[in-house]
Amino acid sequence: MKTTLQTRRQFLRTSMLGAAATWTLPVFLEKTFFALDAMAADALTQTVTGKDGTILVVLQMAGGNDGLNMVVPYADDTYHRARPRLGFAADKILKIDNCLGLNPKLTGSKALFDEGHVAIVQGVGYPNPNRSHFRSTEIWQTASDADRNISDGWLGRYFDNCCAGADPTVGVAIGGETPQAFAAKTRTGVTFSRPEQFRWRTSEPNKGRMSAEEMFFRQLNESGASEESAITAAGGASIGAIPGKAKSDLSTMDFLQRTALDAQLSSDKILAIARKYKSTVPYPQSRLAASLNIIARMIAGGLPTRVYYASQGGFDTHANQLNTHERLMGEYNDAVTAFVADLKQQGNFERVLLMTFSEFGRRVAENANGGTDHGAAAPMFVLGGAVKPGLFGKYPSLVDLDHGDLKFNTDFRSVYGTVLDRWLKAPSEKVLGRKFPALAIV
Amino acid sequence: MLVPLPTEKWNDETAAHLLNRGAFGGTPGEIEAARKKGLAAVVRELVDVNTDAANVPPPAWAHPRNIRAQRMEIKAAKDQGQNFQEKAREVRMMESENILDLRRWWLERMMTGPAPLLEKMTLFWHGHFATSVQKVKDAYWMWLQNDTLRHNALGNFATLVKKISRDPAMMIYLDLQQNRKEHPNENWARELMELFTVGIGNYSEQDIRESARAFTGYRIDMTTQQFRFAPMQQDRRPKNFMDRTGALNGDEIIDILVNKPACAQFIGRKLWRFFVEDEPSPQMVDAIASSIRAHNYEMRPVLREIFSSAEFYSDHVMRTQIKSPIQYLIQTSKLLETQLPSPIVAQNAMRQMDQILFAPPNVKGWDGGKAWISTSTLLFRYNFASYLINGDAMSPANAPQHRQGADLGFRRPAQLAEQTRRDPIDINKIIPAELREKPRDLVNLLSARLFQARPPEKETSAFVQYLEARKPDTGDETMRGLVHLMMSTPQFQLA
């Protein structure tokens, strides 16, 4: 076994496993124990976790966010002609230069932009845009070309390629179902709506102590870690952190046992953090705010997560868009503003990068029902303490259209690639299949 | 070549294995009956089912509508600036209720229908010719495809592929109805080769372009919701496809593909993975592929050979397959001698376990095997077991959350509570009264039922210790707790 203790993480990992080995070592651990170091050396990138690492928060705006009314080309007459009812007058919007301004509800985002913490990438899309929610979402989630079908998600490929051996909580999605972006050969990442749900529930009524059922459940699922040691482990790695690559060599039973152990440890860790860390910053009442609040608490508690995923729905505004979109922009603004304040208070703002996306923007011209139909290119927001601020890409022409839709000028995979290479320190080519031009956003 | 299973190897364990894989599992009673009948008889019952006789009436709503008229109506309202939303919403709600009902309908056929293998093969083909209602957006079309799959599930593969090329749901899902002489759409042609017949590496980009032209003229009649062939739209010019040149049509393309050895390998490997083991050896794939070719792609004799083979019952195969979410749902309900959960709970459970009928994640279908299990889905299975055993009173948090999605409908919380209600199981159906005081015997009995095998001593003794720790309480709650504990294990995920 080649052991050169180079990093704190490696040291922690080795000693954690050393410690684990002195317990009665489950059979499936024995099999992978010695492969560990070789595996870590093989991994393309050292997975940095806990207090050391950078963190990506992906925020999905589901349904097709109207980019034109988020970043408004207020000085363009075409905009006002195309949107007699939905267009914002120049004096309503939050101007960022002579041509563009933000939606009136984005006050917090505007302040953050002025502070130099927001990069706005304009005209993002992909060739041969698909206008089906289902398909276009799939394209964004898998980072595939429009004429190819890929099952693995882009974040899943990141986990597969660059996080072998990482804790299962390397990816955390807040919500009812795992996003396709997390789909991977080796399934990593955990999904929950509320931390309290991510645990095994006993059949017995809660009597305020561990029930016999739970006690034996733990015994059966191989968990010996107490809450305290689970938290400590979060700083480096837990004994759940057996390299995922070894999986295919393991029997199905070994694999199930290890996943059960992972689930138990992750559950203990997440619950312990949820109990211990509360935000003092007030969050507004919305699902997105609740999701970001959970994420902020997990970050504060040092969960070894590289990628968090949250989503906001309701952007499919075919009719009466004015009120709906205003409410959504307000919710987004208030939730993200609280999240940023929370991270600043924790001292973690520099470590976190939040990136928004939507499956498409909307048609330039409003429709007869005061709404907008499915479109194509739209802006993405990238924000965080370490972001290089400003406007990137080019605002698409409102005249030179593709079937009434804005033409993209920046491929969304340029944004993904930049985030992978420069933020997560992962080789984007490996994850995205090829190199896309980088942007100076980080 | 597959070797037949020696008669003396036919026992409770092998019988249980056949029912697990060839059907959706058996109760101890069903396993005993199967053992007594003998291998040949059970295989005959499973495989030689008459697909027509096995048909039950379609759901009441499953008949074609004039979609064109409906769409024109909505569009006209929209163009005139009227409130079209109410109408559009009505259609969406109806479709989401219908697809919920379609899921119930199919799950019930799997659970209590007369032809479990037929249903299982239909599920296999559903994953193979993956088509999602998320794009098709019409429950009737999804039912129609399901019906086509079922009628051909045990028949000839080439025939099935030809039927599927004319199936409206598939045509919409892979844009075949947008394939024009002037603007060929290659989506269907590509997946036909990559995912449905020969597999990647066995065709060229030119084959895709040429065959896309062969599938021109395929249309859907929106007034009747049926396939329609438009001869004027057909590209009759010659095509260079693989080693053939000529005015090939779609069916001829399919025949060429099915005759390639790679196709038998591709289908054989997939079939073996579905029914037998995750990672078949090349020799196994060759064996099954030659069986497929020998039987000219007729599925019945191929399945008969698989289920009668010694390889199917080998040690490294039995009890090593991770139950698919559908298998989990059906088999658990059977083993607990209880009903399926309500349609809306079943639908939510399928979603949480990552296998929703009629909504595979993409055109590749479900990966299966280890991909079923993540920390989240495993925890969900453990907790869902509690809901199935104890009902909703014990675990209100298991109830599906109110969602604004088209899939879960548009229910008010009170409605939702009503539709997620469930009583605890009748524990006396699976635990004889006299065993309540005999922990080890009780655990052995339940192990035979739940695992169809005896788990390692370490686990058995944990179950026994649980009962000891609960003493002197041997009431229903303790019994249900034991069942839940036994189901909250890796063991229970295997079939």
* B130 interaction partners in chain A (CB closer than 8 Å): none
Residue A393 and residue A389: Cα distance in Å, rounded? Answer: 13
Residue B46 and residue B117: Cα distance in Å, rounded? Answer: 6
Q: Is the dihedral of CA B271, B274, B279, B281 positive or negative?
A: negative
* A313 interaction partners in chain B (CB closer than 8 Å): 404
A178 Cβ contact list (under 8 Å, min separation 6): A189, A191, B354, B374, B376
Instruction: Decide if B486 is inside a domain.
Output: yes
What does pTM read for this prediction?
0.84
Do B490 and A260 count as a contact with CB atoms less than 8 A apart? Answer: yes
| Separation in Å, CA of B9 to nearest CA in chain A | 24
**Residue ranges per structural domain of chain A:** 1-442
Do B376 and A192 count as a contact with CB atoms less than 8 A apart? Answer: yes
- Which residues 141-160 of A are in CB contact (within 8 Å) with B? 147, 149-151
Residue B239 and residue B259: Cα distance in Å, rounded? Answer: 18
pLDDT tens sequence for chain A (442 residues) = 333 333 333 333 333 333 333 223 333 333 333 333 333 333 333 344 445 689 999 999 999 999 999 999 999 999 999 999 999 999 999 999 999 999 999 999 999 999 999 999 999 999 999 988 888 999 999 999 998 888 899 999 999 999 887 888 999 999 877 899 999 888 788 988 888 878 888 776 555 556 778 878 887 776 433 333 333 333 333 222 222 233 334 688 888 988 888 888 899 999 999 999 999 999 999 999 999 999 999 999 999 999 999 999 989 898 889 999 999 999 999 999 999 999 999 999 999 999 999 999 999 999 888 899 999 999 999 999 999 999 999 999 999 999 999 999 999 999 999 999 999 999 999 999 999 999 999 9
* A219 interaction partners in chain B (CB closer than 8 Å): 462
CA dihedral A153, A155, A158, A160 (to 10 degrees): -60
- Which residues 88-147 of B are in CB contact (within 8 Å) with A? 132, 134-135
Instruction: Decide if B156 is inside a domain.
Output: no
Q: Which of B362, B416, B443 to mutate to test the interface with A (most CBs of A within 10 A)?
A: B362
Amino acid type, A357? F
| Separation in Å, CA of A220 to nearest CA in chain B | 7
Nearest to A47 by CA among A187, A171, A151: A171
Q: Which domain holds residue B471?
A: 427-493
Q: What is the mean pLDDT of residues B181-203?
A: 92
> Hey, is the C-beta of B468 within 8 angstroms of any chain A C-beta?
no
Q: What is the mean pLDDT of residues B280-290?
A: 96
Instruction: Decide if B433 is inside a domain.
Output: yes
Token look-up 């969960």 returns A303
* A204 interaction partners in chain B (CB closer than 8 Å): 477, 481
Do A201 and B397 count as a contact with CB atoms less than 8 A apart? Answer: yes
Do B362 and A149 count as a contact with CB atoms less than 8 A apart? Answer: yes
What secondary structure does DSSP assign to A52-75, as a single string?
Answer: GS-EEEEEEETT---GGGTEE-TT
Residue B381's closest chain A neighbor by CA?
A: A200
Do A199 and B376 count as a contact with CB atoms less than 8 A apart? Answer: no
Question: Among B313, B342, B377, where does a domain finish?
Answer: B313
Residue A214's closest chain B neighbor by CA?
A: B485
> Hey, is the C-beta of A197 within 8 angstroms of any chain B C-beta?
yes
Q: How many domains does chain B have?
A: 2
Q: A118-125 and A378-384 as β-strands: parallel, antiparallel, unpaired?
A: antiparallel
| Angle between helix B261-275 and helix B282-294 axes, rounded to 10 deg | 110
Residue B54 and residue B121: Cα distance in Å, rounded? Answer: 13
Predicted ipTM beyond 0.85:
yes
Residue A408 and residue A378: Cα distance in Å, rounded? Answer: 8
CA distances from A343 to A108, A216, A277 (A): 15, 39, 13
Instruction: Decide if B20 is inside a domain.
Output: yes
Backbone angles phi, psi at A25, to 5 degrees: -80, 125
B136 Cβ contact list (under 8 Å, min separation 6): B142, B169, B172, B173
- Which residues 208-227 of A are in CB contact (within 8 Å) with B? 212-213, 215-217, 219-221
* A147 interaction partners in chain B (CB closer than 8 Å): 186-187
Residue A136's closest chain B neighbor by CA?
A: B135
- Which residues 213-272 of B are in CB contact (within 8 Å) with A? none
Token look-up 């690492």 returns A53
* A319 interaction partners in chain B (CB closer than 8 Å): 83-85
> Hey, is the C-beta of A416 within 8 angstroms of any chain B C-beta?
no
Instruction: Decide if B133 is inside a domain.
Output: no
Do A253 and B278 count as a contact with CB atoms less than 8 A apart? Answer: no
Give the pair of three-digit tokens for residue A5.
């203790």
User: Is the separation of the CB atoms in B379 and B302 below 8 Å?
Assistant: no
**Predicted local confidence at residue A210, as pLDDT:** 66
Token look-up 């972006």 returns A181
Q: What is the mean pLDDT of residues B359-383?
A: 91
Residue A141 and residue A153: Cα distance in Å, rounded? Answer: 6
Amino acid type, A170? V
Candidates A189, A192, A257; nearest CB to B490:
A257
Candidates B132, B363, B375; nearest CB to A259:
B375
Candidates B80, B375, B466; nearest CB to A216:
B466
Cβ-count burial A399-436 (b if 16+ within 10 Å, e if not):
eebeeebbebbbbbbbbbbbbbbbbbebbbeebbbeeb
| Separation in Å, CA of A203 to nearest CA in chain B | 5
Q: Give the three-class secondary structure for A171.
A: strand
User: Is the separation of the CB atoms in A57 and A439 below 8 Å?
Assistant: no
Instruction: Decide if B436 is inside a domain.
Output: yes
